[in-house]
Amino acid sequence: MIGERILNYQVEKLLGEGGVGQVYLATHIQLGRKVAIKVLNPALVNHQEVKDRFRQEATTLSGLQHLNIVTLYDYLENEKGLFLILEYVEGHPLDEFLKNVSGPLNEKRALDIFYQILDGFAYAHAKGIVHRDIKPSNILIGLDGQAKILDFGIAKILKNDKPAMTKAGARIGTVLYMSPEQVKGENLDARSDIYSLGVTLWEMLTGTSPYNENIETEFSIYNKILNEILPKAKDFYPSVPDYLQKIIEVAAAKNPNDRYQSCEELKRALMEKATPTTSSFTQTQPKNNTYSNTQTNSAQNSSNNSNNNNNQPSRINQIQASRKRSYTILYLLFFFLICVVGYLIFLEFNKKSKENKNETAEVDDSLGKKDEAKKEDKKEDKKEDKKSEDELELDSLEKSKTKFEEKEKEYQKILKSELNKSLIVADQLENEEMGEFTINIEVSNKKTDAKFKDIIIDVIFYNNKGKEVKKVEKEISEINEGQKIAFKVQETVNASKYACKLRSATPVDFSKNEALDSLSKEKELLNERIKDLKEKIKRNQKEK
């Protein structure tokens, strides 16, 4: 495959392979855009049922347009095989990310990634699609930190070719992440994915899987999934927060009715319990290859030190007793000083009272009024302190609102970029004689729920040194959902090659994005809290 041409893409190298097929990196000959090409295993090409389902997989993926799901650009079937042309994401599968980049993820980083994963699966579930093979290797983490979900239905093809799993050894999908109902071969719904997501979060927080498939048989793992609760993440990695442990236990409940019933419900549970400092904009920490061992050793050392301290308390008791004696002396000195000063003040005050009783009475009255004023000032200060706390919380919420708005703008920018990827510019050189280029260009809108306007296509000509010698601009006023527009470009230019590129386009009338909807709902809740707090501050001011 390497070096061959698939459509307008030149295959460059093998990215990975498995039982289903291979994935290659390829580059568009004119546009320079990199893609991932998934090729069905040649051994399955003559399997009619697999081919039908592979085609159905392409149809399913073509209807999934989400920031956190890898985009399908094109599908090809010819005498060489079946091909899916997919968005290329530079980064790492989540399992490799945990192993080679990050180690176990802390609360902030884990939730940053997991929220994105939940958004993608919530969108797919809303489309009636159950993944059925959720696992870290099917989730890509880009270099920009964005999560992308892979393999909707490819593993499902192979599963449907085998009987339902009702006996030992009948492996369907990836056993470590299977739900109990999947192990039993029952009909599955979105709640089966919720179980697998719970196990995936477990692995993100611990850096390992809950079952060791290297020493346990599939049959024993099946039995554990059916009859034993999921091992506690805190037993493998003690720093896992208690609330995350509880949420994982609900997500991975044996009975589907006891789990969270949707990705949205699971996300709400996480957001309600997450610490206030948890942010979706956290940087990946470099991995320490002995991270887990260091944590374990630290815990053991701490335990050993504690035991040593219990066995030898005398030194600590001596230090504490010495400190107590020092504090007692200081307290006595301070009390003595107050008594002396008080006595001197009393003598001076008594002397003045004898000289002028009236003046003294006035002074007493004045002092009394000052004391009352001070008391009133203290009361006012307390009210001000209470008010300041409310105002401080309001300021914090306003800052959070600003961050949500910035994130919303960023998502809108990313969404526009992702939508524009649905505009496919294909070209074919019809003729090139004596510097006369005739190029057939076709612009396709792969979106079925969005149209574009003000599309500008650049045709750029280069000399043999790669220097641009001429640029031709072609404008398309509008292209509707699923529409294709073809035209020719004829130019006389002294050039050796050319490239056709999409310069810009404006998406219009597109469906709402799930991630943006989620942000809007979160911002709405935040606005309600701000409104309530403002009303509380007004009530406090009236009470004054």
Residue 375 is predicted with a pLDDT of 58
pLDDT at 159 over 70: no
What CATH number did the domain enclosing 62 receive?
3.30.200.20
In a domain, 330, yes or no: no
pLDDT at 485 over 90: yes
In a shared domain, residues 201 and 136:
yes
In a domain, 238, yes or no: yes
Boundary residue ending a domain (88, 103, 128): 88
What CATH number did the domain enclosing 444 receive?
2.60.40.10
pLDDT at 315 over 60: no
In a domain, 84, yes or no: yes
Alpha-carbon gap, residue 295 to 301, rounded angstroms = 10
Q: In total, how many domains does the chain have?
A: 4
In a shared domain, residues 62 and 161:
no
In a shared domain, residues 144 and 228:
yes
Q: What are phi and psi of 70, to 5 degrees?
A: -60, 135
Residue 512 is predicted with a pLDDT of 58
Alpha-carbon gap, residue 159 to 172, rounded angstroms = 5
Alpha-carbon gap, residue 142 to 418, rounded angstroms = 15
- Of 95-109, 265-279, 467-481, 506-520, least confident by mean pLDDT is 506-520
Q: Provide, rounded to the nearest whole percent, the portion of the chain with pLDDT above 90.
A: 37
Residue 214 is predicted with a pLDDT of 78
In a shared domain, residues 342 and 464:
no
In a shared domain, residues 8 and 84:
yes
In a shared domain, residues 65 and 165:
no
Is 382 in contact with 374 (CB distance < 8 Å)?
no
Residues 209, 211, 215, 216, CA torsion sign: negative
Q: Which residues of 201-226 are buried (b: 16+ CB within 10 A; e: fewer)?
A: bbbbbbbbbbbeeeeeebeebbebbe
In a domain, 311, yes or no: no
* Token output for 489: 């470009």
In a shared domain, residues 102 and 194:
yes
Residue matched to tokens 């697999």: 50
Q: Residues 6 or more apart from 224 whose CB is under 8 A from it? A: 211
* Domain that includes residue 346, residue range: 336-414+535-544
Nearest-CA neighbor of 203 among 242, 177, 182? Answer: 177
pLDDT band at 83 (very low <50, low <70, confident <90, very high): very high
Task: Note the pLDDT tens digit of each residue in 252-288.
Answer: 999 999 999 999 999 999 998 865 544 333 333 333 3
In a domain, 132, yes or no: yes
Boundary residue ending a domain (297, 325, 352): 297
In a shared domain, residues 82 and 102:
no
* Token output for 256: 């589907």
Task: Annotate 326-365 with three-state secondary structure.
Answer: HHHHHHHHHHHHHHHHHHHHHHHHHHHHHHCHHHHHHHHH
In a domain, 11, yes or no: yes
pLDDT at 24 over 90: yes
Alpha-carbon gap, residue 265 to 259, rounded angstroms = 10
Alpha-carbon gap, residue 403 to 409, rounded angstroms = 10
In a domain, 287, yes or no: yes
Boundary residue ending a domain (233, 267, 297): 297
Alpha-carbon gap, residue 174 to 155, rounded angstroms = 9
In a shared domain, residues 177 and 234:
yes
In eight-state DSSP terms, residue 182 is H
What separation in angstroms does the CA of 247 have from each of 15, 260, 273, 331? 35, 9, 9, 51
In a domain, 174, yes or no: yes
Task: Note the pLDDT tens digit of each residue in 367-426.
Answer: 555 556 555 555 555 554 445 577 777 777 787 778 767 777 776 777 677 677 788 888
Residue 91 is predicted with a pLDDT of 93
Is 503 in contact with 460 (CB distance < 8 Å)?
no
What CATH number did the domain enclosing 194 receive?
1.10.510.10
In a shared domain, residues 114 and 239:
yes
In a shared domain, residues 46 and 155:
no
Alpha-carbon gap, residue 435 to 15, rounded angstroms = 39
HSE, CB side, 13 Å, CA atoms: give it for residue 514.
21
Residues 404, 406, 412, 413, CA torsion sign: negative
In a shared domain, residues 118 and 255:
yes
Residue 278 is predicted with a pLDDT of 42
- Identify the bridge partners of residue 426 per DSSP, sorted by sequence position: 442
pLDDT band at 232 (very low <50, low <70, confident <90, very high): very high
